[in-house]
């Protein structure tokens, strides 16, 4: 079935949005870690900056998954508003480098708005195109366009960092990203017949759909957790090798070339599995390479193979979104991003004392994703499909039990905490009354 003229125009505009947005994202996100690292922030402080973002992003995604109606009723208005607001918030970061609390809050706020924007874009694609193949094609072209633009953005910020000294170089790069980012907002707004609201069918999601989505979520979460931990540790590791900042920024250049090629290289579940295994092995090699310039080449191959994880999750959620709900499917995907960031920042803060350890742990975390791919997703499993599904059901049951216990424990902890605060407040109040009475009587 051929696409309508509106759908063809929408495809072009969504790819343009991804292209311009890719330039904006590559600078605002890609420059952030090197910027704070070379501004004197320790690995522990960097983890503290990212920790609130990962936690709040995960909670927000869960809330929007549970209460998706809050986004569907004013879909068009909220999509446009958040898309523009996100660009404004991220532009503020280079001006806040001297204050860890402000930069942490602004980074968290920018990511929360980005999470909502990502959910809107995903829901729009799922609802606009009825064919799964159209959804996958648009997503692949958006990934490729974003990767090409990210390459240009990486080249731009590397050149600016080479020519200008900080903080001038940071401000120039972020301002350019802000302007180009507004162009992506314009392309987004011009999508024809943009739905004012999305009507979801009121139906209970089948267990097998939830289990399948859960397996994809875990794979994406562990891969992103490992990738974020690599991002936190790689720049300090290069700094410890004596590499200048433009070498750290050059990782983004070759990484984006690899990401562009990876968008077209992997096709089908078996190729996704090969890509994930290769990515994990390459990640394990990083801390053992002492020649700084060789890391620029490794970045190419890690980014190329990492696309397999994105495409695997994308294909699974494209297949189940009709039965899960478009907002819920998008929220599930976005939750993987922020849960991965949360895990990476917690591991970095608690366990990582040096960049070498961080890189080793990142490979171990990615290996967990490989285990799930090999044992719990029928299309990629090395065991019979039925056994893989049973294993995925087992993982889901264990995760659900753990989540339920955690939520209940959190409720009990908060209840106890507030009771203790109340008792302490009453005790303090009685003490003040007693002291006043003593002073009055004594006086």
* Residue pLDDT, tens place only, 18-35: 999 999 998 998 888 888
Same-domain check for residues 343 and 396: no
| pLDDT at 274 exceeding the cut of 90 | yes
pLDDT of residue 430: 56
In this structure, is residue 45 part of a structural domain?
A: yes
In this structure, is residue 238 part of a structural domain?
A: yes
Helix/strand/coil percent split, the chain, to 5: 85, 0, 15
pLDDT, average across residues 156-164: 87
Same-domain check for residues 171 and 73: yes
Angle ∠(177,178,183) on CA atoms, nearest 5:
95
Same-domain check for residues 414 and 287: no
Same-domain check for residues 371 and 393: no
Same-domain check for residues 37 and 92: yes
Could you list the residue range(s) of the whole structural domain that residue 190 is in?
Answer: 5-197+208-382
CATH number of the domain at 286, please. Answer: 1.20.1250.20
Structure tokens at 319: 């297949």
**Helix (H) or strand (E) segment spanning residue 192:** none
Number of domains composing the chain: 2
Is-cis flag, bond preceding 167, omega within 30?
A: yes
CA 133 – CA 318 distance, rounded (Å): 9
Same-domain check for residues 328 and 421: no
Average pLDDT along the chain? 81
Token look-up 């998706």 returns: 68
Same-domain check for residues 347 and 443: no
| pLDDT at 62 exceeding the cut of 60 | yes
CA 124 – CA 79 distance, rounded (Å): 9
In this structure, is residue 202 part of a structural domain?
A: no
Angle ∠(65,69,73) on CA atoms, nearest 5:
140
| pLDDT at 249 exceeding the cut of 80 | no
Q: Which of 382, 397, 428 is the last residue of a domain?
A: 382
In this structure, is residue 155 part of a structural domain?
A: yes
3-state SS assignment for residue 235: helix
- On whether the CB atoms of residues 24 and 87 are closer than 8 A, the answer is yes
| 299 pLDDT tier (thresholds 50, 70, 90) | very high
CA 254 – CA 150 distance, rounded (Å): 10
Q: What are phi and psi of 44, to 5 degrees?
A: -65, -45
Over residues 124-152, the pLDDT tens digits come to 887 787 777 788 788 888 888 887 888 88
Over residues 342-377, the pLDDT tens digits come to 888 888 888 888 899 999 999 999 999 999 889 888
Same-domain check for residues 113 and 144: yes
| 2 pLDDT tier (thresholds 50, 70, 90) | low
pLDDT of residue 411: 46
Same-domain check for residues 166 and 19: yes
In this structure, is residue 307 part of a structural domain?
A: yes
Same-domain check for residues 217 and 366: yes
């Amino acid at each position: 079935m051929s696409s309508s003229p509106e759908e063809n125009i929408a495809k072009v505009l969504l790819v343009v949005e991804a292209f311009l947005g890719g330039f904006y994202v590559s600078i605002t996100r890609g420059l952030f870690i090197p910027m704070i690292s070379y501004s004197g922030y320790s690995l522990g402080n960097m983890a503290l900056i990212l920790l609130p973002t990962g936690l709040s992003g995960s909670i927000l995604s869960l809330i929007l998954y549970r209460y998706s109606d809050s986004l569907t009723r004013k879909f068009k208005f909220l999509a446009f508003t958040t898309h523009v607001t996100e660009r404004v918030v991220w532009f503020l970061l280079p001006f806040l480098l001297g204050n860890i609390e402000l930069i942490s809050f602004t980074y968290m706020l920018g990511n929360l708005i980005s999470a909502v924007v990502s959910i809107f874009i995903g829901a729009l694609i799922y609802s606009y195109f009825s064919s799964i193949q159209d959804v996958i094609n648009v997503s692949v072209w958006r990934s490729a366009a974003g990767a090409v633009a990210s390459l240009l953005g990486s080249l731009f910020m590397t050149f600016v960092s080479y020519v200008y000294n900080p903080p001038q170089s940071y401000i120039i790069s972020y301002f350019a990203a802000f302007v180009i980012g507004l162009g992506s907002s314009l392309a987004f707004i011009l999508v024809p017949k943009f739905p004012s609201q999305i009507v979801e069918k009121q139906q209970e999601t089948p267990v097998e759909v939830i289990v399948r989505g859960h397996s994809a979520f875990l794979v994406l979460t562990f891969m992103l957790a490992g990738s974020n931990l690599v991002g936190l540790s790689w720049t300090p590791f290069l700094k410890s090798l004596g590499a200048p900042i433009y070498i750290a920024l050059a990782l983004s250049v070759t990484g984006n070339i690899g990401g562009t090629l990876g968008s077209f290289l992997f096709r089908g579940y078996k190729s996704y599995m090969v890509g994930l295994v290769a990515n994990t092995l390459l990640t394990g090699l990083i801390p053992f390479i002492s020649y700084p310039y060789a890391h620029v080449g490794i970045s190419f191959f890690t980014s190329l193979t990492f696309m397999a994880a994105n495409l695997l999750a994308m294909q699974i959620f494209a297949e189940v979104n009709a039965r899960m709900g478009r907002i819920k499917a998008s929220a599930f995907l976005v939750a993987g991003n922020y849960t991965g960031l949360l895990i990476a920042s917690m591991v970095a803060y608690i366990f990582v004392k040096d960049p070498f350890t961080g890189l080793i742990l990142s490979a171990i975390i990615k290996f967990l994703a490989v285990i799930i791919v090999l044992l719990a997703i029928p299309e990629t499993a090395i065991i019979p499909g039925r056994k893989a599904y049973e294993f995925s059901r087992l993982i889901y049951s264990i995760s659900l039990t753990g989540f339920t216990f955690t939520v209940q424990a959190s409720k009990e902890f908060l209840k106890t905490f507030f009771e203790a605060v109340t008792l302490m407040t009453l005790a303090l109040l009685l003490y003040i009354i007693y002291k006043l009475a003593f002073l009055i009587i004594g006086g």
